[in-house]
Structure 1
Amino acid sequence: MATAQVKAFWPPATVSMTTPAVLTANFTLHYNDLAEQVAARCQLLRQQGLRAGQVVLTPAGTADVVVMLHALARLNAVLLPISHTVASATRDQWLTTAAVEWCWQSETHQLITTGLNPPSTNAAAWSIDDPLTAVVSTSGSSGAPKLALFRRSSILASARAVNERLHLHHSDRWLCCLPMQHVGGLAISYRCAVAGATVVLQPQFVPTEVNAALHDHAITHLSLVPIMLARLLELNAAPPASLQAVLIGGQALEYSLAQRALTAGWPLHLSYGMTETFSLCASQVLIKSPLPDLSPAPDLIKSSLPSLIKSPLPPFIRGGEEVFPSLQKGGRGDLSNQQLNNSDDLITTNDYHPLPLLNYACPPCNLDQSPQPLQIHGAILMAGYATPERRPGIGLNQDGWFTTADVACQLPNNTLQILGRADDCIVIAGMNIWPAAIEQQLLKIAGVMACVVLGIPAPDWGGQLFAFYTGSAAPDELMQWSRAHLRPVQRPRVFIQRDQLPLLPSGKWDRQQLFTECQAMMAQIENEIVKR
């Protein structure tokens, strides 16, 4: 049984065991070396008391996590990766939420018991053939993080499907500079192991070091969030000839940034996914088109569907909630990206192509139906959110479907159009407004490098838009541009220029922090009005 378990995340027999499995700045670990270390680690963990089904909180900052993910899978135990930067209060909450039994000390190779035990684990739900294998935290980009549970089969299905989509083979090398406590970084190790490819680990993103590694190690695959891509382009870095795919996710990709990257020869693939689908669940390849024409936004378009749907928004990678506010919210219509775009977009592939193992449910892309939160189901989906009992199904409906936080519609060719996040929709003057659509228009302006638009409830109009941005454009210039190009309900009330926007450890914008700042500004504005 143990051998079969190891092969679940192990290269096919045709791959030479002398192929490098892990590369770092300090050492190379070939697959035969990795196999020896995994076997030794299994023996050590058993001796220290680890049993099947138990969860191990594991530091994710070094190559040791790769050894641990294989060893725990072999023992039918469970990996919960964590960063050393996680606050102690969050760490304690994770221990309680997932009833974590052990903490791994990577420096001393010791298991430390937590004294916690699941009160009534549903053992029958986690079979020997398909055990609980990993618990992964969501990013918390718009609220408190959750812990998602994954069976072995889901991780394996995701790895195989993504490898096929991105053509990852045993001779390839994937550079991982994303934090491995989040699914975007962690999934790379599983994908490389399944393909027999090499994962090249960077402990943190340092642009000069990543650029050097790309060339020194003949990297073929790379995962980045947009801010990382921007930092590489600031070096005037050209991609190595070996590079086949740069997977971009985490948040919206700015038009100007994508244009510069494509011009420089970077092979960009936009990803749509979330922690709950073990990262990528749909993707599209970007190709370059002429710079968009910033003509004034039209009124509600009443023409045919093909002229409305030109390209999907860049990805919104965020987990879902169980309960959503009504998307109508009293609004009498939607002003979304469809109504804002009347020019040729940079992104000229028309849609996101879901992975074959993904089933999804959303209305067709037309003006007769209101957009709805995307629902997904399939082999790559999580088993549910963690509870101390580790009962599967939490966060899923009775049929195993998950309702995401993203609003989507289905194109005639059965691919996805992502319109924005469900809880971002705000009613202003009776109209449903999607801040993400406004962001995309602002990001087309040469003087705007990065942008986050937030909708804040307000007593007069129902809501107000606040725009945080970086770039050379002055706030007055953007206000003037908005008056010329956007309808009144689409115009941000305030433009806030920053040297940089706050980031989460995952590399996503910290929208919650910005939302809190907006609320403080609204309160100040209202106080000033009262004083007058």
Structure 2
Amino acid sequence: MREPVEWPTRDLLSHRAETTPERTAVVDAETGAERSYREFDAAADSVAAAVDGLADTAGGRVATLVDTRPAVGRLLYGVWRTGRTYAALNVDLAADTLGAQLDALDADLLVCERATEELAATVADCPVASVDEPTTGAVERLETVESSTVAVEPAERSRDETALILFTSGTTSEPKGVRLTVGNLVASATASAFRLGVRPGDRWLVCLPTYHMGGLAPFVRAALYGTAVVVQREFEPAATARLLDDHGVTGVSLVPTMCKRLVDAGWAPGDSLGAVLLGGGPADPDLVERCLAREIPVCPTYGMTETASQIATALPETARRYPDTVGQPLVCTDVTVLADGDPAGPNETGEIVVSGPTVTPGYLDDDATAAAFGPHGFHTGDRGYRDEDGRLWVVGRVDDRILTGGENVEAGTVAAVIGECNGVEDAAIVGMPDEEWGQRVGALVVGTADEETILAHCRDELAPYEVPKTVRVVDALPRTPSGTVDRDAVRRLLQS
């Protein structure tokens, strides 16, 4: 008999399977098939046995090139069961970028699926296995009949051990590999429970990419809480709206673009839905107000990969009164706003710095780690302020500030003004190189308004140096898979 512990020294799934084996763990939204925690645990054993047979290095790293699907859950816990680190790669990246990330990981095994098999075989310099039946001899089948009958003793893990590596979206720089520990993940799931609440029958819909924290976090939370995840392989407004009702979903994570598409399609939630965690990028206050008007329990949230998901989250009652806040920080998360290097007072804008048990110990690159941390914690690169009650407002990026002709321009201010122009749906503001002014203000705009209308509105509402010198109207803003605006792509579109 194992000694009782106060900390989950084994993977969370093995603990959960011992306590509530009969509860539903994973639901495949496409087929309706359900797996109990007993069955989920056995599936993780199958993966663990296969990984042990394919990866030579004990305690090494297993990379995955697998899109959102129920198999991600058993992959995650199967890899963890062996004591190895799980590293999720973005299936939409180019081969050269994936190759560089695999080199940085020094992965012992790459797990793919049929859709990514050819790409995986091209970029990998380690063994490759597929969760589907392989089409070439160069790729192994991950799970075999033999491995499915083997029970694997879960590896013991300390809270400071790296369990997960995810790469940042890279909207303003090269993506960085973020190390997240067992302690980071459990602390994040615990803090989220204190903010959002948990009920035994909860079901969280996963429709975000599972190679980002927003898509993986529900698998961690569910195993800790004893609740279920419903996995939708690809977001589609009509199908997602139907799934939310048909499966009695109580929570879902969405980026603002997804949420807007649902609202535009006329979606109204059923009685079961208790939380729509809205993050991955700034949420327009108008969208928040539209959600609340439809009784959608929207919870604007601010988080990042480096903090294992949420930093601050506003509940619907807070969002109703303050639609542009992300609420107070989660329990045990300390947020400091630094203005000119010193802690700022209420309503004073500065850089947001975070510390606490959810914060990464660092990146794969030591120099990037050293540059990101200071005496007050992890420097997010975001700018914002807190009010007298501690509510947090995020107003933009530190590098969003544009210096043109000696004048500072806040990109968020320009974007907000353009957003008030009739016919404008969305806007992204960036600084562009300019021989005369150093930088000039550029605006990429979505909507039916033309450039002259937008410029006339800006001249009426902004100082002359804040008025964009380059404006372009497009059908949609370029975004990363996690939903954040790809600012480098915005700049390229404006320069073209």
TM-score in terms of structure 2 length: 0.82
CA gap of 1:450–1:488, structure 2 versus 1, over 3 A, is same
Do residues 196 (structure 1) and 226 (structure 2) align? yes
Instruction: Indicate conservation of the 8 Å contact 2:166/2:211, yes or no.
Output: yes
Residue type at the aligned position of 2:344: P
The equivalent position to 2:27 in structure 1, one of 4, 23, 43, is 23
The equivalent position to 1:213 in structure 2, one of 243, 247, 252, is 243
Residue type at the aligned position of 1:30: S
Residue type at the aligned position of 2:381: A
* Structure 2 residue aligned with 1:485: 461
* Structure 1 residue aligned with 2:97: 90
Query: For 1:404-427, what per-residue CA distance to the aligned partner results, in whole angstroms no more than 9, with x for missing partners?
Result: 111233433344332321011112
The equivalent position to 2:162 in structure 1, one of 120, 124, 132, is 132
Show the 5 A alignment for 1:378-397: 378-387=356-365, 395-397=371-373
* Structure 1 residue aligned with 2:133: none
Q: Secondary structure at the match of 1:139?
A: coil
* Deviation of 1:135 (Å): 0.4
Aligned residues: 451
* Structure 2 residue aligned with 1:364: 344
Aligned-partner Cα distance in 1 for 2:391–2:264 = 34
Residue type at the aligned position of 1:137: F
Unpaired runs of 5+ residues, structure 2, are 128-155, 338-342
Aligned-partner Cα distance in 2 for 1:9–1:378 = 25
Aligned-partner Cα distance in 2 for 1:191–1:273 = 16
Query: Which protein, 1 or 2, shows the higher relative CO under an 8 Å CA cutoff with sep ≥ 6?
Result: 1
Query: For 1:442-486, what per-residue CA distance to the aligned partner results, in whole angstroms no more than 9, with x for missing partners?
Result: 223442112111122434344322221212223222222222222
* Deviation of 1:92 (Å): 0.9
Residue type at the aligned position of 2:54: Q
Query: For 1:137-165, what per-residue CA distance to the aligned partner results, in whole angstroms no more than 9, with x for missing partners?
Result: 11112222111011111111111111221
Aligned-partner Cα distance in 2 for 1:491–1:129 = 51
Instruction: Indicate conservation of the 8 Å contact 1:64/1:106, yes or no.
Output: no
Q: Which moved more, 1:90-99 or 1:473-482?
A: 473-482
* Deviation of 1:107 (Å): 6.1
Instruction: Indicate conservation of the 8 Å contact 2:334/2:354, yes or no.
Output: yes
Residue type at the aligned position of 2:304: M
Residue type at the aligned position of 1:378: G
* Deviation of 1:47 (Å): 3.0
Instruction: Indicate conservation of the 8 Å contact 1:254/1:443, yes or no.
Output: no
* Structure 2 residue aligned with 1:231: 261
* Deviation of 1:391 (Å): 11
* Structure 2 residue aligned with 1:255: 285
* Structure 2 residue aligned with 1:8: 12
* Deviation of 1:198 (Å): 1.0
Residue type at the aligned position of 1:355: L
Aligned-partner Cα distance in 2 for 1:60–1:86 = 12
* Deviation of 1:502 (Å): 1.8
CA gap of 1:400–1:91, structure 2 versus 1, over 3 A, is farther
Aligned-partner Cα distance in 1 for 2:416–2:494 = 20
* Deviation of 1:252 (Å): 2.0
Do residues 99 (structure 1) and 106 (structure 2) align? yes
CA gap of 1:11–1:484, structure 2 versus 1, over 3 A, is farther
Aligned-partner Cα distance in 2 for 1:366–1:7 = 41
Q: Secondary structure at the match of 1:133?
A: strand
Residue type at the aligned position of 1:455: G
Aligned-partner Cα distance in 2 for 1:13–1:34 = 8
Residue type at the aligned position of 2:66: A
CA gap of 1:20–1:136, structure 2 versus 1, over 3 A, is same
* Deviation of 1:34 (Å): 0.4
* Deviation of 1:234 (Å): 2.4
Instruction: Indicate conservation of the 8 Å contact 2:402/2:430, yes or no.
Output: no
For the aligned residue pairs, the C-alpha RMSD in angstroms reads 3.1
Unpaired runs of 5+ residues, structure 1, are 117-125, 290-344, 521-532
Show the 5 A alignment for 1:436-451: 436-451=412-427
Aligned-partner Cα distance in 2 for 1:441–1:186 = 36
* Structure 2 residue aligned with 1:330: none
Aligned-partner Cα distance in 2 for 1:223–1:11 = 25
Q: Secondary structure at the match of 2:75?
A: helix
Aligned-partner Cα distance in 2 for 1:11–1:434 = 49
* Deviation of 1:355 (Å): 1.4
Residue type at the aligned position of 1:34: F
Q: Secondary structure at the match of 2:87?
A: strand
* Structure 2 residue aligned with 1:347: 322
Instruction: Indicate conservation of the 8 Å contact 1:224/1:247, yes or no.
Output: yes
* Deviation of 1:37 (Å): 1.2
Aligned-partner Cα distance in 2 for 1:172–1:429 = 55
Do residues 499 (structure 1) and 479 (structure 2) align? no
Q: Secondary structure at the match of 2:355?
A: strand
Aligned-partner Cα distance in 1 for 2:188–2:34 = 26
* Deviation of 1:272 (Å): 0.7
Instruction: Indicate conservation of the 8 Å contact 1:259/1:288, yes or no.
Output: no
CA gap of 1:161–1:239, structure 2 versus 1, over 3 A, is same
* Structure 2 residue aligned with 1:36: 42
* Structure 2 residue aligned with 1:54: 60
* Deviation of 1:501 (Å): 2.0
Q: Secondary structure at the match of 1:495?
A: strand
CA gap of 1:73–1:247, structure 2 versus 1, over 3 A, is same
* Structure 1 residue aligned with 2:408: 432
Aligned-partner Cα distance in 2 for 1:494–1:346 = 36
Instruction: Indicate conservation of the 8 Å contact 2:172/2:488, yes or no.
Output: yes
Show the 5 A alignment for 1:456-475: 456-475=432-451
* Deviation of 1:46 (Å): 2.1
CA gap of 1:354–1:266, structure 2 versus 1, over 3 A, is same
Do residues 406 (structure 1) and 406 (structure 2) align? no
Instruction: Indicate conservation of the 8 Å contact 1:12/1:196, yes or no.
Output: yes
CA gap of 1:284–1:477, structure 2 versus 1, over 3 A, is same
The equivalent position to 1:514 in structure 2, one of 476, 490, 493, is 490
CA gap of 1:177–1:472, structure 2 versus 1, over 3 A, is same
Q: Secondary structure at the match of 2:314?
A: strand
Query: For 1:313-332, what per-residue CA distance to the aligned partner results, in whole angstroms no more than 9, with x for missing partners?
Result: xxxxxxxxxxxxxxxxxxxx
Instruction: Indicate conservation of the 8 Å contact 1:103/1:114, yes or no.
Output: no
Residue type at the aligned position of 1:197: T
Aligned-partner Cα distance in 2 for 1:114–1:446 = 53
Aligned-partner Cα distance in 1 for 2:493–2:268 = 38
* Deviation of 1:15 (Å): 6.1
Residue type at the aligned position of 2:314: Q
CA gap of 1:35–1:12, structure 2 versus 1, over 3 A, is closer
Aligned-partner Cα distance in 2 for 1:398–1:476 = 45
